[in-house]
Structures are given as structure tokens and as C-alpha cells.
């Protein structure tokens, strides 16, 4: 059973940066694509970004493209999300997800494991 633990959330002002990290354990070597999703109060879970195991394929949601960067370190079984130029609309709980699929899908149903989430709050 793969466990995912997110860290790095917090309260930031608009225009600043924040880096989230997700550590995988318990069979993480079998995991392929990993992703970040987010969910704001009263809204559905939204795709943020995903990355293939080799890092050669990435995908970004429209609202974050050009501001966020996903990366991973397979030796450490971690995936990170560098968030720059934060906006108040980025406020949400951010979830790390892991998949046995090789393609970095945008659909949450393609992911087999989920972390508990970390809160990101951006003030204006």
C-alpha cells in the first residue's frame, strides 16, 4: 500500500512563491505517474499538474500554466510543485496523487493513491 504525505502548505501573500512536496512510501517504486490536484471550498477537485515517472512528460491545468512547475526525484520518491506568482484563487487544499499508469492523466479517476492534502491560502 502506497502512502503519500504532502508538506509545504501555508499562508502567503499574492505574488509570492511556495513549494509543496509529496513523499511516497510503502511500495512507491511501483508508482508511475504522479500529480497534484486542488480543491477549494464548495468546488470540485481540480487538476493542477502531473508528471511521468521519467519526468519527460508533464501536464498543467490552464489556471496554473506558466506559474507552477512540477518535478520529481525518483531516488527519494518525492514529487514537488513550485508555485510562483501566487494568486488568491490558488487558495485550496492541495492533494498529491499517484498512479500505476505511465501517462500523466488529468482525470482524478486515473490515480490510485491520494495524500491527505495540505492547505494553501493566498491573501490579496
Across 45-58, average pLDDT: 97
CA 34 from centroid of its chain's CA atoms: 8
pLDDT at 96 exceeding the cut of 90: yes
Closest C-alpha to 79, from 122, 37, 39: 37
Task: Quote the pLDDT of residue 1.
Answer: 87
Per-residue pLDDT band for 59 (boundaries 50, 70, 90) equals very high
Task: Quote the pLDDT of residue 27.
Answer: 82
Across 100-119, average pLDDT: 97
Amino acid at each position: 500500500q502506497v502512502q503519500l504525505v504532502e508538506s509545504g502548505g501555508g499562508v502567503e501573500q499574492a505574488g509570492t512563491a511556495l513549494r509543496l512536496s509529496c513523499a511516497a512510501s510503502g511500495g512507491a517504486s511501483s508508482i508511475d505517474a504522479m500529480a497534484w490536484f486542488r480543491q477549494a471550498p464548495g468546488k470540485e477537485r481540480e487538476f493542477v499538474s502531473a508528471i511521468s515517472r521519467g519526468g519527460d512528460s508533464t501536464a498543467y491545468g490552464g489556471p496554473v500554466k506558466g506559474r507552477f512547475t512540477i518535478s520529481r526525484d525518483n531516488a527519494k520518491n518525492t514529487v514537488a510543485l513550485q508555485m510562483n506568482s501566487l494568486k488568491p484563487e490558488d487558495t485550496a487544499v492541495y492533494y498529491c496523487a499517484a498512479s500505476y499508469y505511465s501517462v500523466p492523466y488529468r482525470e482524478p479517476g486515473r490515480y490510485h493513491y491520494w495524500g491527505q492534502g495540505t492547505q494553501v491560502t493566498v491573501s490579496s
